[in-house]
Chain A
Amino acid sequence: MILTKAQYDEIAQCLVSVPPTRQSLRKLKQRFPSQSQATLLSIFSQEYQKHIKRTHAKHHTSEAIESYYQRYLNGVVKNGAAPVLLDLANEVDYAPSLMARLILERFLQEHEETPPSKSIINSMLRDPSQIPDGVLANQVYQCIVNDCCYGPLVDCIKHAIGHEHEVLLRDLLLEKNLSFLDEDQLRAKGYDKTPDFILQVPVAVEGHIIHWIESKASFGDECSHHAYLHDQFWSYWNRDGISQCSSGWCGTPGLSDSSASATQSAGITGARKHFLPGIFMKCVCK
């Protein structure tokens, strides 16, 4: 299914200052019943990440952290079972998982002799049972399961989607008898950053020569890394709209029920040499 630029904009319009929660997503779904939850979630995630990028810094001032921590402490003293942390995050318009991390860091700073390492924090966020404070553990867990844009579970979902679409793409390539090198083979050849697939023989799609294919199926992935790919991708995305390309790839049965679009990029300036013009695929499956 193809989403037009106008539709995208309309959805994005509804997502201004909306907390990334299950409830918000449900409302969105009621508003746009024709769109799949996956599509809406994907757009939600994209838009919310843009929002967080803009506002991230103000939540990380020492004053802000201190104020959040005090409010958390006051809250749990009153009622430890209440969703103190989640409410706080929604109130200050910050992602619950990120708020949980902030408070956890602050908590560990107070209770441990040495400042907590990032890996310990990550590990505790993945498994809140490791958090020494039971109340905080519950609060953190609540934030994580209620956050639909950030957190270890969301990261895992993104990763899984990426992997799934790589598999889909590989199947399609095999089906079309296109010879390719995948990421592992490329790494073995010494490439550091690689697209998902490099076609050993370029193909022409809608008049464009395609040398490589990068599946950008996982929502928000481009925001965290692949910065240059991101810029290029979005510049095309925004200019040409999501409907710009529904190439042969996306029209195949494997992806027929997905909102899929592929945007073509005509070469990436500043990227490495081997990044000849290729294709980005944006596929979100139900």
Chain B
Amino acid sequence: MAAVLESLLREEVSVAAVVRWIARSTQGSEDNAGEAAALSSLRALRKEFVPFLLNFLREQSSRVLPQGPPTPAKTPGASAALPGRPGGPPRGSRGARSQLFPPTEAQSTAAEAPLARRGGRRRGPGPARERGGRGLEEGVSGESLPGAGGRRLRGSGSPSRPSLTLSDPPNLSNLEEFPPVGSVPPGPTGTKPSRRINPTPVSEERSLSKPKTCFTSPPISCVPSSQPSALDTSPWGLGLPPGCRSLQEEREMLRKERSKQLQQSPTPTCPTPELGSPLPSRTGSLTDEPADPARVSSRQRLELVALVYSSCIAENLVPNLFLELFFVFQLLTARRMVTAKDSDPELSPAVLDSLESPLFQSIHDCVFFAVQVLECHFQAMMGQLSAACSHSHFVRLFQKQLLQMCQSPGGAGGTVLGEAPDVLSMLGADKLGRLWRLQERLMAPQSSGGPCPPPTFPGCQGFFRDFILSASSFQFNQHLMDSLSLKIQELNGLALPQHEPNDEDGESDVDWQGERKQFAVVLLSLRLLAKFLGFVAFLPYRGPEPPPTGELQDSILALRSQVPPVLDVRTLLQRGLQARRAVLTVPWLVEFLSFADHVVPLLEYYRDIFTLLLRLHRSLVLSQESEGKMCFLNKLLLLAVLGWLFQIPTVPEDLFFLEEGPSYAFEVDTVAPEHGLDNAPVVDQQLLYTCCPYIGELRKLLASWVSGSSGRSGGFMRKITPTTTTSLGAQPSQTSQGLQAQLAQAFFHNQPPSLRRTVEFVAERIGSNCVKHIKATLVADLVRQAESLLQEQLVTQGEEGGDPAQLLEILCSQLCPHGAQALALGREFCQRKSPGAVRALLPEETPAAVLSSAENIAVGLATEKACAWLSANITALIRREVKAAVSRTLRAQGPEPAARGERRGCSRACEHHAPLPSHLISEIKDVLSLAVGPRDPDEGVSPEHLEQLLGQLGQTLRCRQFLCPPAEQHLAKCSVELASLLVADQIPILGPPAQYRLERGQARRLLHMLLSLWKEDFQGPVPLQLLLSPRNVGLLADTRPREWDLLLFLLRELVEKGLMGRMEIEACLGSLHQAQWPGDFAEELATLSNLFLAEPHLPEPQLRACELVQPNRGTVLAQS
């Protein structure tokens, strides 16, 4: 391969012949005999030439491009596929040359080849350069050389090549073997600096975890797996040497390496190179050395190689056109050169023209080469696109590429939509994101050109601008304009979400996120496309000279006014304004117009547009916000872009000031839709800053004023806040608390982020738990106190208790002061709980000092959190809980004092086997319904059943397990009803035939049971007065003959057992007289009363007399 290139350089063959040779298998008739002879012998190598050339260029450039994105190289896959390769065909006429390019390396072992190829694909330059450069470095012929061995040589920087032996095992954990990024390799001739990031060797304990990238990165994968190695035990064939160093040692090594780098790497200071041809103005790239055409070392050689290279590109012999362009641009924007000449004493000037000398010896060579390629290539490429259709295809590609590249992060001047770069996000560490942002900030130009910068092509846009300029193809430009116009119209007419005014209430800002994002994408695309459309459309008319005046101007105007506009922007603007879509149309129109030449504003057509824009500008009064008007940020965006446009030099100043004033009010078509895009909150701050980065100048200005510097005295200050040393001395009045907080911040700064997260988490949880704990202890205690105080209060104040609100106030005034203890208790709790939690969550190996600091900070934070909450809320909390307790207590008091009586639980021996209350209620209800009727003649209950039922009732009442108060109440009521029915002999009895009535003795026994239940077992009130209700006494009226003895018996027993007071019964009997009874029944009732009253009684004789005079039912009932 090299032979071909050599022949070329020696001008034995022409470039055209070589290209023809590569492209076609047969030789053309135009080739002269000599060339044919020279090339025919190399036919077998034809397929390998292009990969070789590409690799050669990559290899040669590697010293120039030690950093930046790698341009993938071409592994000679084709050669690997060739049969009989190992034997090797003749390699050119000069045997010595064949030794320079030992391509067999890749095929030295079958196992290595795929590995190397894989690595090459992934990492690009590595293996290819390895192969290409090996000859230059080593001069070892025929022998396959382990990549790592070579690496060791370069990395160690030792010029003593003989020290290398094949048996040397690659020491992978030795950092010395990994040349650091950007450092100048002190080694001999053209040693290649690695473009890799410094791998950090890890200690053995991590070797079992996931494969580390540093061990699988291509340079390492060049290590032949077949190489006999005692260390080759790991699944990756990359065993670690014994005695892996501790992390501490590794850090130490890293530190050393870094200090070495610092000493070696020069400081970038020089401005951007200026060359005749347009150079991409990559913002932020600082160049060390200005490229000078006069200092190009071997012009002819470069020209020749450039010619071959661009011919290959032109013939589409390269697989990826844009990759090559990228490579060329890398060369064009190269910063500094690794000077190889001085460090290579073996290289004599005699070989300078051969391939043995580096192709690119200086930055000047690189730039010269790139310019050569660009100049001859792009024009040629456009020449290739002869057919119109291929132009349109290419334009479509161009447009797509433009949108894709310039809208991706880092493209059009930084992040467009705030997305993190892919590579870094893939790496996964959030810290990298921060580093990336920091790098962006440091790389960003200090100023974007003041508050009104001229239109520029930042980032990737520069490439496309240069492409257009370099191609300078009329056809291409025309197709591009057509395509851009079409796309702009399409995007501009895109239906974007409309603001629905109806559901404004329920609509939060969040709901607009999706729409905003969509709008932003469309708007940014439109602006980009319009910018390029404007650039291309006005390109032929633009010039640095001031606008023509006088007659010349008139004639130009007359001429230009005949030229139809590339895109009917006037109509689009009018339509946009009518449809209230100015927020979408105007920004891209401004981009388009920003590239207008000096004549444009004078043209009638564009003057209309400017007039419309001026009127719009005047109408956008920010303070006027009303229904149906444009949103604030939308207005702000339009004002910003319009203002920027009016300040562009090509736009005459008088246009703005001479135009009709505000009196010429901006009219909106009355038929305009009520709610257009202008009324929707589609613009957010981020979009505003993306579209108008110059707004950021304001902030910079303010920031620089704050920091004390000024724009004049050395540029704006960047706001980078040191975390540890800020204002330690500047603010002596600072509180110790603030200082503590700063110390804590500084502490976290030096620790892994997980430590901070842990401490904050612990503080958050402990603080929260503290509040819960206080609630469960202190507040609960206070509530118990409140309850007992309330009981006392109720006892002293009597049954009526008092006004609940007043009671609450009294209690709260007594108890709330105790809330002050909460803070002390809270502090104690946090102090007690936090350290343990921190200790449990942090690694055991955490140094004692770090642990103790973390614990202290956690205690502090938790206390702060808990105390803040407690001091603000403890009183309200106590109050709320006491209030709930008071209402609970008062409710529990109930209206009936009897309910307050002490309730007994089950006896200790109770096994809760008693019949369930529900069952009993149901059973008694059945008896009641039988008694009340209607019933069938054969229906009835046996006395035994009744006895059993009452026995069960007793059991149930004694086992309180399942008894709830309502059930007990109903049981009590039912038992009273049952008693009444017994007294009235209304219960149908099933028994021996004809005995249809209960025996007296049986009835009395049952009544006795009931009395006992009422006396002993019921814990709730029993409505015994119901026994003497008119309805129940009336049951007796139906029985014939009436028998009053059971009632009298019951009344006596009630009094006897103290279940009812005598006066109570008397009162009930008295009230019975008032009811309407049959005549004889009333008589008998009176007799009963007299009988009962005539009986001797012991208690309260004086009271009885009093009540007989005034039988007040209400009082009597109240006493019951």
Interface residues, chain A, CB within 8 Å of chain B? 22-23, 38, 41, 81, 83, 86, 127-129, 134, 137-138, 141-142, 145-146, 152-153, 156-161, 163-164, 167, 285-286
Contact = CB atoms under 8 A, between A and B. Distances in A.
A152 B928 CA distance: 14
A110 B199 CA distance: 100
Interface stretch (B625-633, B661-669, B958-966): B958-966
A153 B970 contact: yes
A157 B936 contact: no
Contacts of B926: 22
A164 B918 contact: yes
Nearest to A86: B934
B973 A145 contact: no
Given A160-B916, A160-B918, A164-B918, A22 B929 contact: yes
B967 A163 contact: yes
B172 to A, nearest CB: 51
B925 interface: yes
B163 to A, nearest CB: 69
Nearest to B1034: A134
B1038 A81 contact: yes
B1026 A127 contact: yes
B89 interface: no
Given A156-B970, A160-B964, A167-B962, A128 B919 contact: no
Contacts of B933: 83, 142
Nearest to B934: A83
B178 to A, nearest CB: 54
Contacts of B825: none
B916 A164 contact: yes
Contacts of B967: 156, 159-160, 163
13 contacts: A81-B1038, A129-B1031, A142-B933, A145-B929, A156-B970, A157-B925, A158-B918, A160-B916, A160-B967, A160-B970, A164-B918, A167-B962, A285-B919
Given A129-B1029, A157-B922, A160-B917, A167 B961 contact: yes
B1031 A164 contact: no
Nearest to B1077: A134
Contacts of A41: 922
A160 B920 CA distance: 10
Given A127-B973, A127-B1023, 12 more contacts: A23-B936, A128-B1031, A138-B1031, A138-B1034, A146-B934, A153-B925, A158-B918, A159-B966, A160-B921, A163-B964, A164-B916, A167-B962
Interface of B: 916-919, 921-922, 925-926, 928-930, 932-934, 936, 961-962, 964, 966-967, 970, 973-974, 1023, 1026, 1029-1032, 1034, 1038, 1075-1076
A16 to B, nearest CB: 23
B964 A159 contact: yes
A129 B1032 CA distance: 8
A142 B932 contact: yes
Nearest to A284: B918
Nearest to B1029: A129
B1042 to A, nearest CB: 16
A145 B925 contact: yes
Nearest to B974: A153
Nearest to A188: B884
Contacts of A38: 919
A160 B966 contact: yes
Given A83-B933, A129-B1026, A145-B932, A161 B918 contact: yes
Q: Which of A128, A160, A163 has the most CB of B within 10 A?
A: A160
A86 to B, nearest CB: 7
A99 B551 CA distance: 110
**Secondary structure of the A side of the interface?**
helix
A286 B919 contact: yes
Nearest to A168: B962
Given A153-B925, A156-B921, A156-B967, A129 B1030 contact: yes
A164 B962 contact: yes
B929 A146 contact: yes
Nearest to A164: B962
Contacts of B934: 83, 86, 146
A38 B1038 CA distance: 34
B43 to A, nearest CB: 75
B1104 to A, nearest CB: 25
Contacts of A286: 919
Contacts of B921: 153, 156-157, 160
A164 B912 CA distance: 11
A139 B1026 CA distance: 17
Nearest to B918: A160
A192 to B, nearest CB: 15
Contact of B932 (A23, A141, A160): A141
Contacts of A22: 926, 929-930
B570 to A, nearest CB: 57
A192 B1030 CA distance: 43
A131 B930 CA distance: 22
Contact of B1031 (A141, A145, A156, A163): A141
Given A22-B926, A157-B918, A134 B961 contact: no
B541 to A, nearest CB: 68
A145 B922 CA distance: 10
Contacts of A163: 962, 964, 967
A145 B928 contact: yes
A81 B919 CA distance: 30
Nearest to B924: A153
A81 B933 CA distance: 10
A137 B917 contact: no
A86 B917 CA distance: 27
A142 B921 CA distance: 16
Nearest to A22: B929
Contacts of A167: 961-962
Contacts of A137: 1031
A126 to B, nearest CB: 8
A81 B962 CA distance: 38
Contacts of B974: 153
A127 B511 CA distance: 60
B647 to A, nearest CB: 57
Nearest to B1028: A129
A26 B966 CA distance: 27
Contacts of B1032: 129
A81 B1075 CA distance: 18
A71 B922 CA distance: 31
A146 B918 CA distance: 17
Contacts of B936: 23
A55 B248 CA distance: 87
Contacts of B966: 156, 159-160
A148 B988 CA distance: 20
B934 to A, nearest CB: 5
Contacts of B1038: 81
A86 B932 CA distance: 11
A23 B926 CA distance: 11
A156 B966 CA distance: 7
A193 to B, nearest CB: 19
B953 to A, nearest CB: 13
Nearest to B970: A156
Contacts of B918: 157-158, 160-161, 164, 285
Given A153-B970, A160-B918, A134 B1030 contact: yes
Q: Which of B919, B974, B1034 has the most CB of A within 10 A?
A: B919
B771 to A, nearest CB: 15
A158 to B, nearest CB: 8
Q: Which of B930, B932, B1075 has the most CB of A within 10 A?
A: B932
A59 B1023 CA distance: 34
Contacts of A157: 918, 921-922, 925
Contacts of B1075: 134
A159 B1034 CA distance: 31
A134 B1038 CA distance: 13
Given A156-B970, A159-B966, A167-B961, A146 B1031 contact: no
A163 B963 CA distance: 8
A196 to B, nearest CB: 14
